[in-house]
Amino acid sequence: MEKFIIQGGQPLNGEVTPAGNKNAALPLLAACLLTDEPVILHNVPEIRDVISMRSLLESLGVKTEQISPHTWKIQARDVRPADLDPDLCRGIRASILLAGPMVARAGNLQLPPPGGDVIGRRRVDTHILAIRSLGAEAEYDRSNRVFDFKSKGLKGADILLDEASVTATENAIMAAATARGDTVLRNAASEPHIQELCHMLNSMGAQIDNIGSNTLAIHGVPKLHGTEFTIGPDYLEVVSFIGAAVVTRGTIRIRDAGPEYLGMIRLVLGRLGVDWQVEGRDIIVPAEQRLVVEPDLGDAIPTINVMPWPAFPTDLMSIAIIISTQSNGSVLFHDWMYPSRMFFTDKLLGMGAHIVLCDPHRCIVQGPTPLYGEKMESPDIRAGMALVLAALAAEGRSVIRNVGQIDRGYERIDEKLRALGARIERETA
């Protein structure tokens, strides 16, 4: 197990380029199962979750080749159902993304339960309901502890998802792309990575309309072909660097940051007194930030809620909480999606933050407060990155253990931060 040693209090300055979007790379890799022709993917992030997905694909007979550090060639010429490694499947939530394309391409799959971050129960019911709606059988085999998917051919359907689940939307899109007839997918999630999946599938010959909306029209085609596609920047990493600049009072230029996806995020962080400039596709975060909480009408304490895209995403709640510890005023944070998202705040209390954990879904932060170095454990990807930001802002030395969780979603984050002037080292615990 590895750990980060961080000496805080150092303003970060310089330029950084974010990695490719992790949450786009995983479904795009899964989508390669839908064709027997080669697919070239550029800007693939070098992170643990992507490596795990690559291993799962290879166990299904897919040939993968790393042409350059961030460019992969994937060819699923001969796909075969296989016994997938339960430990690999438990390691990443995205293993569930194999269900849609494998049912469409091979007609069956036995999938061990997916895992991922420890942020509370994450149901898979929506995946099952969507795939069943297209004509497949989908059951959980308790004796063998696997999800059993079978199909003799998928058929388009009018599907209303019972929740706007990102991965369930992606599974339904991939399964419907080559189903017979037309599919209407309602209450679909519309995050940037879902839009990228739709665009890549269209470049492979799929016919998906209304991309970016909550109602997708998918006209099934008999066959998909190979393509070449570039993964966009990871907006979660972009906002992490914005937060790093803000809490350390530094100036950072983020290259190729995809500012077109940050509208709502800018509005929400603006309520904490944060702003940035846009130059082309770059974002510049200045050292001078207002950092005053904007109250609601009547000087009421404002609430920051998470909601499905294009509202404020749940994966950025932890970063927003860190920023609020350095903003003047009180804020109520509410994440109704995951019952364990807020539990990392006890570590911030140990660093000196003024936080009241109201219940598993809500906390109140009163800032600004100085933070002090502490020894901590990284509980999940996003909370782990938030703790890194807190340690960078803190006075003194912090130790963050279990940084493998952070490595699942952030490519060489310690090296990027060192290049900006951070005093951060990686050691084997």
Residue-level pLDDT at 108: 87
Provide the CATH number for the domain around residue 125. Answer: 3.65.10.10
Rounded to an integer, the average pLDDT of 230-241 is: 97
Same domain flag for 397 and 256: yes
Q: Would the pLDDT of 381 be above 80?
A: yes
Report the distance separating Cα 49 and Cα 95, nearest Å: 10
- Residue 116: which pLDDT band, with cuts at 50, 70 and 90? very low
- Look at the block and give the residue holding tokens 């002037």: 421
Same domain flag for 305 and 207: no
Report the distance separating Cα 170 and Cα 24, nearest Å: 10
Model pLDDT for residues 196-232, shown as the tens digit of each residue? 999 999 999 999 999 999 999 999 999 999 999 999 9
Same domain flag for 258 and 373: yes
Residue-level pLDDT at 146: 84
Same domain flag for 212 and 294: no
Residues contacting 341, CB < 8 A, separation 6+: 119, 120, 314, 317, 318, 335, 361, 383
Same domain flag for 241 and 385: yes
Number of domains in the chain: 2
> What is the rounded radius of gyration, in angstroms, for the C-alpha atoms of the chain?
22
Residue where one domain finishes, among candidates 199, 230, 261 = 230
Q: Would the pLDDT of 111 be above 90?
A: no
- Residue 329: which pLDDT band, with cuts at 50, 70 and 90? very high
- Residue 119: which pLDDT band, with cuts at 50, 70 and 90? very low
Same domain flag for 188 and 309: no
Residue-level pLDDT at 117: 37
- Residue 115: which pLDDT band, with cuts at 50, 70 and 90? low
- Residue 1: which pLDDT band, with cuts at 50, 70 and 90? confident
Model pLDDT for residues 51-95, shown as the tens digit of each residue? 999 999 999 999 999 999 999 999 999 888 777 878 878 777 788
- Residue 318: which pLDDT band, with cuts at 50, 70 and 90? very high
Same domain flag for 272 and 144: no
Residue where one domain finishes, among candidates 230, 252, 269 = 230
Q: What is the dihedral of CA 104, 107, 111, 114, to 10 degrees?
A: 10
Same domain flag for 225 and 237: no
Report the distance separating Cα 280 and Cα 258, nearest Å: 9
Residues contacting 174, CB < 8 A, separation 6+: 27, 30, 31, 34, 97, 100, 101, 104, 197, 201
Residue where one domain finishes, among candidates 176, 195, 230 = 230
User: Is 9 within 8 Å of 372 (Cβ atoms)?
Assistant: no
Share of the chain above pLDDT 70, in %: 98
- Residue 124: which pLDDT band, with cuts at 50, 70 and 90? confident
Residue 152 DSSP class: S
Q: Would the pLDDT of 338 be above 90?
A: no
ω before 368 within 30° of 0 (cis)?
yes
Residue-level pLDDT at 120: 36
Residue-level pLDDT at 84: 81
Residue-level pLDDT at 125: 86
Same domain flag for 273 and 284: yes
Catalytic residues: 117
Give the neighbor-by-neighbor strand order of the sheet with 146-150: 108-111, 146-150, 137-141
User: Is 218 within 8 Å of 183 (Cβ atoms)?
Assistant: yes
Report the distance separating Cα 87 and Cα 120, nearest Å: 19
Same domain flag for 199 and 145: yes
The average confidence (pLDDT) of the chain is 93
Q: Where are the alpha helices (DSSP H) in 67-191?
A: 86-91, 99-105, 125-133, 166-177
Which residue, 31, 185, 25, is CA-closest to 98? 31
Rounded to an integer, the average pLDDT of 159-178 is: 96
Domain span at residue 128 reads 22-230
Same domain flag for 49 and 87: yes
Residue-level pLDDT at 123: 67
Same domain flag for 160 and 140: yes
